[in-house]
Structure 1
Amino acid sequence: MSNKKTAHIISHTHWDREWYLPYEKHHVRLVKLVDTLLDKLDQDPDYRSFYLDGQTIILEDYLQVRPEQKERLVKHIQNGRILIGPWYILQDAFLTSSEANVRNMQIGHQDALRYGQISKVGYFPDTFGLVGQTPQLMQQSGINNAFFGRGVKPTGFNNTVADGEYESSFSELQWEGPDGSKVLGILFANWYSNGNEVPANAEEAISYWKRKLTDAEKYASTGELLFMNGCDHQPIQLDLPEAIRVAREMYPDTEFIHSNFIDYLQSLEQSLDRELSSVRGELRSQRTDGWGTLVNTASARVYLKQMNQQGQMILEKMAEPLSAYASLLGHEYPHHLLTYAWKTLMKNHPHDSICGCSVDEVHREMVTRFEKSRHVAEAIIQDQVKVITDRIDTTCFSRFGEDTRPFTVFNMTGHERSGTVTVELDLIRHYFNEDLSFDEMKSRVKQLALEERVVVDSEGNELKSTITDLGLQFGYDLPDDKFRQPYFARSLRIEFAASAVPANGYKAYALIRKDSDAAKDGTSSSLLVNERTMENEYLQVSVEQNGSVTLTDKASGRTFSGLCIYEDSGDIGNEYMYRQPDGESPMTTENIVASVTVMTDKSYESAMQIVHQWAIPKGADSLLQQEQDELVWFTGRKSARSEEMMQLEITTTITLEQGAKGLKVNTSFNNQAADHRLRMLFPTDINSSVHQADSMFEVATRDNQPAVEWNNPSYCHHQQSFVSVKDGETGLTIANKGLSEYEVLRDSRNTIAVTLLRSVGELGDWGVFPTPEAQCLGEARAELMIIPHGNNAPEAAYAVAYQFQVPWIAEQTHLQKGSLPPIYQWFTWEAQGLELSSVKMVENTGDLALRWFNMTLGESALTVEPKFSFNDVHKSNVLEERQERIDGTNGQVIKLASIGPAEIVTILVNI
């Protein structure tokens, strides 16, 4: 390494939009900061540049209050003095979906381009660990680097970083993803504040730089030393040019420059003369003591994660693809509304927000944002569904009579689907503007005779169904060309077994009179074996005296026992980290007798309700409050659980559907206990040293045993849609909706423990911040699915888990002629080990963007057959920019012969 030393001082502020203060209080401080920055840049040419934290939302937040300052902002951005992008927000990597990460990058690029240049910096200053596919996401975004603070070195209280060994020899490293993509990784080894508040006083500068230069050189692989001049919500250092001049005088052998990331990277790459350490895959601080990983933010305020799962799903799997399909019919794709909905949702994605580790006011506002984004998405879906259903030819049902009521069921997943569908249909409507008195209108609706009716498919086959009269219902239409149209209707709720609804498509059905000669009778049977056992083609399920579930996979003959037992333990930690009291053993429902009731006995579905009455401690003892007030760090606390007990009633509903390969598990309870964690246990009894978990564009493989450095008794991890344990013969996958934390217990049974609730009473970082609402008192729920699998590829079980995330869409239509057939799918695809991730339109080209990812580490091939006409096809990156043309098209068939291991593959179909 050269003896030449250059101190690259980069000015920045790490801007948490909300955290220990509510959003608007931080917002006010942001406006002051940017005002000061603009004045400084105008007045002092020696203050060269400022990095605006890698997130363009800061520009939105500032200009919301100071729109008259846009011209000044644009000037300094275009002159390269304010560096912006590439993200819209700095998100948490593990708690946001694959497509949310892509939209974040896409929207950040789009917004940055409106102002000037995009800073191609993979910026993750305080992200709580990093997902394994980050290098591929960066490379596909035209970024060859990643700057990060956590994941390979211990980081603890108040962002202090510990000395000692870690995965890399230097602060510079090669980071490789599972697909082989590589980026230059830059670890903030001395944190992203190691050049903060540089002294302009000579005497102070000597001491400051002696310490700082030594600290940086300890980890740097070259003489190019990085100093970050800023920290969380850090005001601008106005005298930095003077402080740099002083540093040059005090240390003439070191070149001090007011730098930026691009100049630093160029200098670093020119100076590298040694091989860097290579780190592969996820960065989760695996080689640390395990106390500072912040993984338990995955279970802080679980309700936020559940709302986020719903919000992401409704945009990714429903609003976007439906809008794309409607656009293929000539309807305008609502780019503006989708971007607005995504931005509203992503305002909840910064780590201190989605992680649930802020003050209560922050998370109250998050609930409103989740609802706002969902409402926009639901409005989009309603419009697009109507566009499509208005074009479906339902004349095949005309033979059943004029009072036939057709409806359409949409399957918005990438695989053919069967299951129980619920839809509400109006038999008759009377609008308020009709020539009827108000009372006569209601009377006609209420007195409508209800003959026996059945559900049929487009071939006239009668389907197993349950029909419930909902009586008089008020509704209204909101036409595009006239005033709102209120009405009264006679409505029915239809529940039936849909079968083989095509992937990326729909199937039309109808409600008809039972006496129609055209209907072909369906068979009737029951899935119920006895009052504690139910069975379908694939699974046998029994409920034991203690409420646990025994499940047999018929294909493999493997039986899993002790499923769905609950575990409760004390938690004297905080929103960031779980901490069980010393000497405590978790409580379980293993020895509690549960009541079991048959709730549903239908030919296509059976359900049982399991109720536990369980006495658990009311909270922690009084010492915990004292330890919190005195800022006793959670690892050193001596508090225990209270001896005062309270009753917790847990209701578990297990549902088995005809043709289902998984068992649905719904849990509900009213939590009135504090300072505890509730989990559901799924013993696998599978002999494996590793397990798999769904992550961003990856089914990640993780060790069941932690590294030797790990001291934390807990070894929890993040998941998105599922976690799975398998060997060469069998496997068990547990899918979830918004339950982001799990642990594979080291109990000789490889039990999967999924966290349902974690109750704590403080934020728990650098000060005393009580958060009583983080106790999550009140009604709570959880949805899971148990999916066993045998010798077949586990990817089939993973597909069921992904499908579990997405609800059916069912919409009433009319007897009508149309251009679309009663059964249709917009495209078919085939590939081994791939999962469909996204269907959407590209704004600037009008291309249809289709994206998959390879769940495996093997090669694959992809065949796609659109059912609509198109021009040509291009490969793309995640920014959905056209790359090389795909020449493998043969008529309507698109072929990609080689899909690499763990590859994210996007194609653009030009319509």
Structure 2
Amino acid sequence: MRGVKAFLVSHTHWDREWYRTFESFRARLVDTIDRVLELLSTDPGFRFLLDGQTIVLEDYLEVRPQRRKALEDAVSAGRIAIGPWYVQPDSLLPSGEAHVRNLLEGRRVGAAFGPVSAVAYTPDSFGHPAQFPQLFAGFGLCAFVYWRGNPSALSGLPPEYRWQAPDGSSLVACHLGAGYANAGNLALDPVGAASTIAQRSQALAERTRQQRILLMNGFDHAAPSERTREIACALADRTGWQVERALVDDFAAGIEPELPVFRGELVGGCAGPLLPGVWSARLPLKLANRACETALERLAEPFAALARLHGLPDERASLRRAWRELLRNQAHDSIGGCSIDRVHEQMRARYDASQELARETTLRALERLSGHGVARSTPSGDAIEVAVWNPSPWPRSGVARFPLDPWPGLQANDSGPFFHRWLLPPREGKGMSADGVPVRVVDGHADGRYLIAPASRALDLELVVGEVPALGFRRVRLEPAAAAPDLVDAGREISCATTRLTAADDGTFELRLGSRVFAGICALEDEGDRGDSYDADPIPDLAATLESVEFERRRHAGGIEELEVVRTFALPARLDASRERRSSERAALRVSIRARVAPGEPGASLSLRIENSAEDHRMRLIFPTGAPCSEFLAATSFDAARRSTAKSDATGWIHPPPATFPQQGFVFANGLALVAPGLPEAEVREDGSIALTCLRAVGWLSRLDLRTRPGPAGPQLPVPGAQLRGAFTAELRLLSFDDPSVVAAAAREAELPLQAVTIAGETRVPEGVSLLALEPRTLVLSALKPADDGDALVLRVSNPGDETARAVVRTGFALESATPLRLS
């Protein structure tokens, strides 16, 4: 096809960590960028795409600080393209706010070197959410270049089309066809290389309506070719095309604006392998990721912003550091769980750093708003004044957990001892009330706690609290009272207000939420999995045998009731040598569910603990909704995606679609909302049941023999850590709604506990004041944070519903002005 203009883009796709650790790959990154700079000095026409992420600049300069000027000159001259991402993310697992922070950090880092690319180059992520066009438009990006995710609806469109978000925002999307190496991995001979490129790109040239195609000269961790000038000339001679050595921005700049339109998610395998097993590989990583996102987005940032507004210290540097640690874990092969064990072990330190920074920033902001100075007062007297803070943008009641900690260690308060007498055993006979309501005494997490004696334990108080104003606090007075220990028995029913939960002999639950009744809740389904970290490959034998069930009920005078059900299953220990069947040897799977209801808390919460000793299997909990279902909602980035239970027509697909789908916080079907933060893989069946993946244990990074995927997705390396032997926990909530439009906001707020700190002297804000309230409850408070520059606050509200809504924001502080902003 003559008349085609081909853009030959030299690049490397740089996974910071994958089948090697970060430091191992960084050594090769240094060599690669060294060579790029060398080629820039010897070949005037050479240009290079540095994989759309700016973190590699930091990684390189930590080892080659003397080359900063050379990089700045190359970026400023338009010869190296950088950004707009900070890291190349997975698109479906991080939150929408995390993507915003990724692009903000990418721009911040990149701007110090020169212009940042206006193309959202995302070549290898495993599918993309429908809201990406609105996100990218908010940063002024002009195009999206990608490979994975095309559904059947795009098979009849050219590789360049207009991708439209639910709000109507749109941008040019450019599909890479056969991938980001259609002009990579070439023969040394330029003529032979040109012949290979011409063959590979023929289909792309025939499909384009723009008479322009992208030729990507590079691959994973590939050093740049020094023969691109000769290859470009040979390709032009062979094809008659105009061939230009260029960057993706050059390609995007010439695309005509009138294009066919597509609206929806990119979660198909029509044109390339999607690799949906990353949604469920190494689930403890996903749980840690969600915990960090929530701690930053909805606790640390809002309270740090409000504290600064009231004259308290600026915590923006701490917040940025916490986000940078988290973003490094959101690279697609990192959060995807599809790397070697050492990589994922190293990720834990980043998650810990991010969460600890977020937790301490939140605590210090709340303490200072509640009257503390730098020297925090340790609760030591019989009567304690507590401020219970509400992180939600509407009034809430419920349970707040308050730690009785000595702090700092061995430093006495002016008024008395440095620890509360309750911290010394025995506890029997000790009691408190909170505004007259009995307080529940429970063991706390020992991490970060100062234990004063070998026999002492971390101690928390659970306070049942009446209405707390939106993003404000309520003063609660704790006073000595008669002891009120839990009443412990083997009962099987708990209830509070209109919620009732009853356990059956097999350990499943019947749940009443108002007028709705759901039976068979938390049935367990376990099947073999011969897959790898990229894809499940089920062996549907459902061979788990229930060995025992234990019940324990705890009821407290304050109204908190808990029912713990512990089930032990025997199941095949692993696959047999053929990898076609599960072995006859048996192993134990212990699943504990502590169901809880409490005054002021909607629905029922479920604390899940899984103790796994088996390999090569997928365990799911089933939540029947009691009626057939054809359509349901699932949380995604800034959206509630409406999905169908009908099977996809996958005729001609390269990668057959799974029945599962990704979700970011909740699934809603037939009036039942399953809130499952950090467990991102689910399935809704035609009978209306929701199947939530709680564990997927596999032992290989990638394999060649899967039935659910053609070919490998990476090197065939054993990854025993992905078998998830051992224990981990997750938190779920079950809610019921008649109106689907309120589910997203209610589900997000259900992840946020009330916060409690002691009061010391005069508080910075009056009790009972809503510092910020949002209406209507169909809207989600997405961000409340300090502006990156200046003294302003940034407030972001999302509308995941289908109907336009008018947001009403009321503040408990004076506003000078309110200015609409882009995301950038």
Same fold (TM over 0.5): yes
Which structure 2 residues correspond to residues 28-107 of structure 1 after superposition, within 5 A? 28-47=27-46, 49-107=47-105
Question: Counterparts of 1:474 and 1:610 in 2: how far apart (Å)?
Answer: 29
Q: Is the CA contact 2:269–2:656 (under 8 Å) kept in the aligned structure 1?
A: no
Q: Quote how far apart the aligned CAs of 1:465 are.
A: 1.9
- In structure 2, the partner of 1:670 is 611
Rate the CA distance shift 1:503–1:444 in 2: closer, same or farther, 3 A.
Answer: closer
Cα pair distance change 1:437/1:424, threshold 3 Å = closer
**Higher alpha-carbon deviation: 838-847 or 206-215:** 206-215
Pair 1:222-2:210 in alignment: yes
SS of residue paired to 1:763: coil
* Counterpart in the other structure of 1:686: 627
Q: CA deviation at 1:550?
A: 0.6
Contact residue 528 and residue 534 of structure 1 kept, 8 A = no
1:15 maps to 14
* Deviation sequence 1:44-67 (CA, Å, 0-9, x none): 2121x1111111101010011111
> Which runs of structure 2 are paired with 1:411-450 in the superposition (5 Å)?
411-425=390-404, 431=410
1:408-487 pair list within 5 angstroms: 408-425=387-404, 431=410, 454-456=432-434, 461-467=435-441
Deviation at 1:292, TM superposition (A): 3.6
* Cα distance change on mapping 1:264 and 1:313 into 2, 3 Å: same
**Letter matched to residue 714 of structure 2:** W
SS at match of 2:216: strand
CA deviation profile, 1:713-732 (whole Å, cap 9, x unmatched): 84001111111113xxxx00
Q: How far apart, CA to CA, are the structure 2 residues paired with 1:530 and 1:769?
A: 47
In the alignment, structure 1 residue 333 sits paired with structure 2 residue 274: no
Measured after TM superposition, the shift of residue 248 of structure 1 is: 3.5
Report matched runs for 1:552-563 at 5 Å: 552-554=512-514, 557-563=515-521
- In 1, the alpha carbon distance for the partners of 2:485 and 2:806 equals 42
1:543 is matched with which residue? 503
One of 719, 722, 727 as aligned partner of 2:666: 722
8 Å CA contact 1:428, 1:490 repeated in 2: no
Structure 1 residues 588 and 562 mapped into 2: Cα distance closer, same or farther (>3 Å)?
farther
Separation in 2 of the partners of 1:618 and 1:826? Answer: 54
- Does residue 282 (structure 1) correspond to residue 265 (structure 2)? The answer is yes
Question: How far apart, CA to CA, are the structure 2 residues paired with 1:448 and 1:580?
Answer: 52
TM-score by structure 1 length? 0.82
Match of 1:262 in 2: 249
CA distance in structure 2 between the aligned counterparts of 1:208 and 1:103, rounded to whole angstroms: 40
1:315-362 CA-to-partner distances (Å, cap 9, x unmatched) read 111111111011011123222221111111111101110010011111
CA displacement at 1:428 relative to structure 2:
11
SS in 1 for 2:174: strand
Could you say if the C-alpha distance between residues 433 and 222 of structure 1 is closer, same or farther in structure 2, counting changes exceeding 3 Å?
Answer: closer
Q: Which residue of 2 aligns with 1:596?
A: 551
> Partner of 1:739: helix, strand, or coil?
coil
- The match for 2:695 is 757
| 2:160 and 2:208 in contact (8 A); partners too | yes
Query: Does residue 780 of the first structure (1) align with residue 728 of the second (2)?
Result: yes
Rate the CA distance shift 1:104–1:434 in 2: closer, same or farther, 3 A: closer
Match 2:683 to one of 743, 753, 774 = 743
1:569 alignment partner in structure 2: 527
Equivalent AA in structure 2 for residue 406 of structure 1 = E
Q: Distance in 1 between matches of 2:724 and 2:589?
A: 14
User: Distance in 2 between the 1:720 and 1:50 partners?
Assistant: 35
Superposed CA deviations along residues 840-886 of structure 1, whole A, max 9, x for unmatched, are 0112232111111002110111111211112111011112xxxxxxx
Higher Cα Rg, which structure: 1
Shift of 1:144: 2.5
Q: Does the Cα contact within 8 Å between 2:339 and 2:701 map onto a contact in 1?
A: yes
How does 1:109-148 map onto structure 2 within 5 Å?
A: 109-148=107-146
The offset of 1:203, in angstroms, is 4.3
Residue segments in structure 2 that go unaligned for 5+ positions in a row: 374-379, 703-712
How much is the aligned-residue C-alpha RMSD, in angstroms? Answer: 3.5
For the structure 1 residues 462 and 10, does the alpha-carbon distance in structure 2 shift closer, same or farther, using more than 3 Å as the test? same
The letter of the residue matching 1:496 is L
447-456 vs 36-45, which deviates more? 447-456
Distance 1:220 1:174, change over 3 A: same
Distance in 2 between the 1:819 and 1:436 partners? 22
3-state DSSP of counterpart to 1:126: coil
**Kindly tell me: are residues 447 and 126 of structure 1, through their superposed partners in 2, closer, same or farther at Cα, counting changes over 3 Å?**
closer
Counterpart check, 1:862 vs 2:807:
yes
Find the aligned partners of 2:313 and 2:122 in 1 and give their Cα distance.
36
Deviation at 1:209, TM superposition (A): 4.5
Structure 2: distance between partners of 1:177 and 1:354: 25
Task: Indicate which of 762, 768, 788 corresponds to 2:716.
Answer: 768
* Matched-pair contact (CA < 8 Å) for 1:190–1:215: no
Closer, same or farther: CA 220–153 of 1 in aligned 2, 3 Å: farther
Question: Which of 503, 521, 525 is 2:470 aligned to?
Answer: 503
**1:429–1:490 CA contact under 8 A, matched in 2:** no
Letter in 1 for 2:617: H
Instruction: Quote the offset at 1:469 in angstroms.
Output: 10
Choose from 696, 703, 719 the match for 2:644.
Answer: 703
Q: 66-75 or 599-608: which moved more?
A: 599-608
What is the CA–CA distance in structure 1 between the aligned matches of 2:259 and 2:407, rounded to whole Å? 73
What is aligned with 1:648? 589
Q: Distance in 1 between matches of 2:537 and 2:436?
A: 56
Counterpart CA distance in 2 for 1:605 and 1:443 is 25
**2:398 touches 2:754 (CA, 8 Å); kept in 1?**
no
Query: Counterpart in 2 of 1:614?
Result: 569
Alpha-carbon contact 1:145-1:184 (below 8 Å) kept: yes
Which residue, 828, 833, 853 being the options, matches 2:798? 853
Change (3 A) 1:447 1:300: closer
Instruction: Write the distance in 2 (CA, Å) between the matches of 1:436 and 1:4.
Output: 86
Deviations 1:668-707 (A, max 9, x none): 2321100001110001123331110011000111111122
Following superposition, the deviation at residue 613 of structure 1 comes to: 2.4
Structure 2 residue matching 1:861: 3-state secondary structure: coil
Go from structure 1 to structure 2 and tell me whether the alpha carbon gap of 1:714 and 1:527 turns closer, same or farther (over 3 Å shift).
Answer: farther
> Secondary structure of 2:679's match?
coil
Partners of 2:6 and 2:420 lie apart in 1 by 80
Question: How is 1:299-314 mapped onto 2 (pairs within 5 angstroms)?
Answer: 299-314=280-295
Q: What SS is found at the alignment partner of 1:60?
A: helix
Question: Aligned letter for 1:464?
Answer: P
**Shift in Å at residue 371 of structure 1?**
0.8
From the superposition, tell whether residues 241 and 613 of structure 1 become closer, same or farther in structure 2 (CA, over 3 Å): same
Give, in angstroms, the shift of residue 245 of structure 1: 2.8
**1:684 alignment partner AA:** T
2:254 is paired with a residue whose SS is helix
The alpha-carbon distance between structure 1 residues 430 and 254, as it changes in their structure 2 partners (threshold 3 A), is closer
Q: Letter of the aligned partner of 2:268 in structure 1?
A: S
Mapped to 1, the partners of 2:50 and 2:33 lie a distance apart of: 10
Matches within 5 A, 1:793-812: 793-812=739-758
| Structure 1 partner of 2:344 | 363
**Sequence identity of aligned pairs in percent?**
29
What is the aligned length? 803
Unaligned runs of 5+ in 1: 155-164, 393-400, 478-484, 516-521, 625-638, 880-911
* 1:825 partnered with 2:779: no
Q: Distance in 1 between matches of 2:448 and 2:720?
A: 40
Deviations, residues 37-87 of structure 1 (Å, cap 9, x unaligned)? 11111222121x111111110101001111111111101111111111111
Corresponding residue SS for 1:874: coil
